[in-house]
């Protein structure tokens, strides 16, 4: 039986349908979770999709974190449930304190929609284990507030604990410089594109793997990230071996 994965729908979410499509392609049974519901309907994992939850008025993600569904998501994450936030979903997770850091306005203060290359730092997490190599993955970004920011101590701790999940990389596959406008277009500190929480079960990333999950869309590189989540969720739903933890 396909594993049930919840996709939260906030008013203003606009990548929920794309995420549901990509999850179904990866063999999951996607379940839409309305922002007002206080239960997660027994799903095995949760995705917070991209968009402009509640219009992103005030600041991206700041209103969404107070929704009933986010209380349930926080509880689920606290119990070790798998949660992936993509783009606006990452912003919501950061506002809710479920992943470290913050997403600031892009360095050039403009919305940016373009393809980027990111490289996974780790291939042993629930979100990356199906990714074949540390080599670059091509997928789009589309955001106005994607500049990853945290204080130096937090950044050092993230690096030390192996919680930097993805970095923007240059055409040679090396981590992009912070001021490399072409490779790290939003100016993220240490070119961080995605992070893990300290327990390793909650991840956020700014690029959109669900838009790069089919060859016809120009890149299938995102499919491995979606597939990792689906397989990890299936294992969590039918726990035989222990789930992957932090190293």
Partner 1 sequence: MTVAERSIEPLHRRLGLTDDELDAIRERLGGRDPNDLELAMFSVMWSEHCSYKSSKPLLRTLPTAGEGVVAGPGENAGVISIGDGLAVAFKIESHNHPSAVEPYQGAATGVGGILRDIFTMGARPIAVLDALRFGDPTDPRTRHLVDGVVRGVGGYGNCVGVPTVGGELVFDPSYTGNPLVNVMAIGLLEERRLTLAAAPGPGNLVVLFGSTTGRDGIGGASVLASATFTHDDPSKRPSVQVGDPFAEKLLIEASLELIEGGLVEGLQDLGAGGITCATSETADRAGTGIAVDLDAIPRREPDMEPFEVMISESQERMCAAVRPERWHEVREVCARWGLPVAIIGRVTDDGDLTVTSNGRELARVPARALTSDAIVHERIGNAPPHRRAAPAPGVSIDPSDRLPERGMDPGAVLLALLGSANLASRRPVFEQYDSTVGADTIVGPGRGAAVLRVKGTTRALVATTDGNQAVGALDPYLGAALSVAEATRNVSITGARPLGVTNCLNYGDPSRPEAFWQLQEGVRGLADACRALGVPVTGGNVSLYNESPAGAIAPTAEIGVVGLLDDVAMLVGPAFAEEGDAILLIGEVTPGLSGSAYAALAGAAVEDGPPGLDLALEAALQSGIREAIARGLVASAQDVSGGGLAVALAESAMWSGLGATTRLAVANSPAVELFGESPSRIVVTCRPRFAPALTLVARQHGLSAEALGTVGGNRLVIELTGAGATGAAEERGSRVADALEVPVADLRHAWDHGLPRALGWED
Catalytic residue selected from 95, 121, 145, 210: 210
Cα(199)–Cα(152) distance, integer angstroms: 20
Q: Report whether 218 contacts 117 (CB < 8 A).
A: no
Give the shortest CB-212-to-partner 1 separation in angstroms.
9
**What's the sign of the alpha-carbon dihedral 30, 36, 41, 47?**
positive
Cα(203)–Cα(14) distance, integer angstroms: 20
C-alpha closest to that of 24 among 207, 200, 227: 227
Give the shortest CB-208-to-partner 1 separation in angstroms.
7
Q: Note if 87 is an active site residue.
A: yes
Give the shortest CB-219-to-partner 1 separation in angstroms.
10
- Chain positions contacting partner 1, by CB under 8 A: 11-12, 14-15, 17-18, 21-22, 50-52, 54-57, 110-114, 140, 142, 144, 208, 210-211, 213-214, 216-218
Give the shortest CB-45-to-partner 1 separation in angstroms.
20
Nearer to partner 1, 2 or 34 (CB): 34
Nearer to partner 1, 71 or 110 (CB): 110
* Surface-to-core class of residue 214, CB atoms within 10 Å of its CB (0-12 exposed, 13-18 middle, 19+ buried): middle
The total of other beta-carbon atoms located within 10 Å of residue 165's CB is 24
Give the shortest CB-109-to-partner 1 separation in angstroms.
10
Q: Note if 108 is an active site residue.
A: no
Q: Note if 15 is an active site residue.
A: no
Nearer to partner 1, 52 or 76 (CB): 52
Q: Report whether 192 contacts 164 (CB < 8 A).
A: yes
H-only helix segments in the chain: 16-25, 68-78, 88-95, 152-160, 223-237
Nearer to partner 1, 164 or 212 (CB): 212
Nearer to partner 1, 22 or 93 (CB): 22
Cα(111)–Cα(116) distance, integer angstroms: 14
Catalytic residue selected from 87, 95, 143, 147: 87
Catalytic residues: 87, 208, 210
């Amino acid at each position: 039986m396909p594993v049930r994965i919840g996709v939260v729908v906030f008013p203003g979410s606009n990548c929920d349908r794309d995420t549901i499509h990509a999850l179904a392609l990866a063999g999951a049974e996607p379940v839409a979770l309305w922002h007002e519901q206080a239960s997660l309907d027994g799903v095995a994992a949760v995705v917070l999709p991209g968009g402009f939850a509640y219009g992103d008025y005030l600041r991206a993600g700041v209103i969404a974190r107070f929704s009933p569904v986010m209380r349930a998501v926080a509880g689920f994450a606290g119990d070790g449930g798998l949660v992936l936030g993509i783009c606006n979903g990452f912003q919501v997770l950061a506002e809710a304190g479920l992943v470290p850091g913050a997403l600031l306005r892009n360095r050039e203060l403009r919305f940016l929609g373009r393809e980027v290359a990111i490289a996974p730092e780790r291939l042993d997490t629930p979100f990356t284990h199906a990714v074949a190599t540390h080599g670059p993955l091509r997928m789009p970004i589309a955001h106005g507030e994607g500049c990853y920011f945290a204080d130096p101590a937090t950044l050092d701790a993230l690096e030390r604990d192996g919680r930097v999940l993805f970095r923007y990389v240059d055409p040679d596959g090396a981590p992009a410089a912070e001021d490399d406008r072409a490779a790290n277009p939003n100016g993220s500190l240490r070119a961080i594109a995605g992070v893990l929480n300290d327990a390793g079960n909650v991840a956020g990333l700014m690029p959109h793997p669900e838009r790069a999950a089919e060859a016809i869309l120009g890149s299938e590189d995102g499919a491995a990230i979606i597939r990792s989540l689906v397989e990890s969720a299936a294992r969590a739903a039918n726990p035989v071996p222990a789930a992957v933890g932090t190293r």
